[in-house]
Amino acid sequence: MDHGYLENVAQENGLVNVSPYVKLAVGLGAILLSLVSPNWITPLFLTLTLGGAILLLARIDPGLYARLLLAPLSFAVFSVTAVILVTGGGEVFWAWQPVPGVALSVTSRSVLQGMLVFSRMLGGMSALFFIALTTPLTELFMVMRQCRFPTTLLNLAMMVYRSIFILADQVDQVMSAQRMRLGYSSPREAVQSFGMLCGAAFIASWEAGEDLLRAMDARCYAGRFAMLSESQPVEAGPLAAATAYLLVGSGLLLATLPGALSWGGV
């Protein structure tokens, strides 16, 4: 069953055979470049190129990717508006003092600051989407184990991962049944139905945990989950492409540093 999780897409993407280390290096490197960029040029470059890689190399459905890009829009609009209103400097376009001591304004530098924050969010989210859409969590678990993350944390994460899909199926079934019986037809009904749904999910998850414990006992669980230690090897081609990409991004960042203000920085 499709729950709309990016993990389902990541399992079948076009870059699934590329080493997770290479994909993580590209994603994390792009997040870092986006964060240290003093202007919107580099984040915009990262947004466009990573979007291209997601659509053309990973072959992700463009409609899904467009919906993903729209998802953080409400947070972005609210937050960037606040940043523009509170930060100042430069030519004042609009100002308002709602109460003494509090001044809200739109200025030339605050607009640039807002554009910078928005572009960093776009660049960062594109990098996050790149990781989420191309690297299945099972590969990330492998990387985390090879990087010697605490076993307790890994075991907990794997247990959560395994349980999510079981629970999601049950929640889908209960919610469909509730919708068919007009369980969400009014706000009062909706809150009642939602509470019932969550209560049923909690009880189901508890019972799933007890079943799991019995199953683990039957398989001689001794504090460590077995995991196949095979992962895609790092190949020269993808490694060279990733290195070249990050170098180009870094070069662009450095090239736009001296004229940061004239290039739209703050």
Partner 1 sequence: MHIMEGFLPLEWCIAWWVLALPFLGWGFFRLRRVLDADREALPLLGVTGAFIFILSSLKLPSVTGSSSHPTGTGLSSICFGPGITSVVCLVVLLFQSLFLAHGGLSVLGANIISMGVVGPMAGYLVYRALRDSRVNVYMTVFLVCAVADICTYVTTSLELALAYPAAVGGVATSLGVFLGIFAVTQVPLAIVEGIVLALVFKYIIQLKPEILFRLRIFPERAITEARGGA
- Residue 168 as a binder of partner 1 (CB under 8 A): the answer is yes
- Residue 140 as a binder of partner 1 (CB under 8 A): the answer is yes
Q: At what angle do helices 73-86 and 108-134 cross, to 10 degrees?
A: 150
- Residue 253 as a binder of partner 1 (CB under 8 A): the answer is no
Number of residues that bind partner 1 (CB under 8 A): 89
Residue 207 or 235: the one with the smaller Cβ distance to partner 1 is: 207
Cβ contacts of 192 within 8 Å, gap of 6 or more: 183
Q: In Å, what is the CA distance from 57 to each residue of 10, 17, 100, 195?
A: 12, 12, 55, 42
Sign of CA dihedral 81, 86, 89, 93: positive
Whole-number minimum distance, CB 106 to partner 1, in Å? 11
Residue 22 or 121: the one with the smaller Cβ distance to partner 1 is: 121
Whole-number minimum distance, CB 236 to partner 1, in Å? 27
Whole-number minimum distance, CB 162 to partner 1, in Å? 7
Helices (DSSP H) in the chain: which residue ranges?
A: 6-10, 20-36, 41-52, 62-70, 73-86, 108-134, 137-146, 151-180, 187-218, 236-255
Residue 74 or 237: the one with the smaller Cβ distance to partner 1 is: 74
Whole-number minimum distance, CB 71 to partner 1, in Å? 6
Three-state secondary structure string covering 33-62: HHHHCCCCHHHHHHHHHHHHHHHHHCCCCH
Answer for which of 2, 91, 102, 218 binds partner 1 (CB under 8 A) is 102
For residues 227 and 229, give the distance between their C-alpha atoms in angstroms, rounded to a whole number: 6
Site pattern 18..37 for partner 1 (x: CB under 8 A): ----------x--xx-xxx-
Answer for which of 14, 111, 145, 192 binds partner 1 (CB under 8 A) is 192
Residue 199 or 251: the one with the smaller Cβ distance to partner 1 is: 199
Task: Report the site for partner 1 in 38-97 (rule: CB under 8 A).
Answer: 43, 68, 71-72, 74-76, 78-79, 81-83, 85-89
Sign of CA dihedral 249, 254, 258, 260: positive
Task: Report the site for partner 1 in 193-252 (rule: CB under 8 A).
Answer: 194-203, 205-206, 208-210, 212-213, 216, 223
Structure tokens given for 218: 């039957």
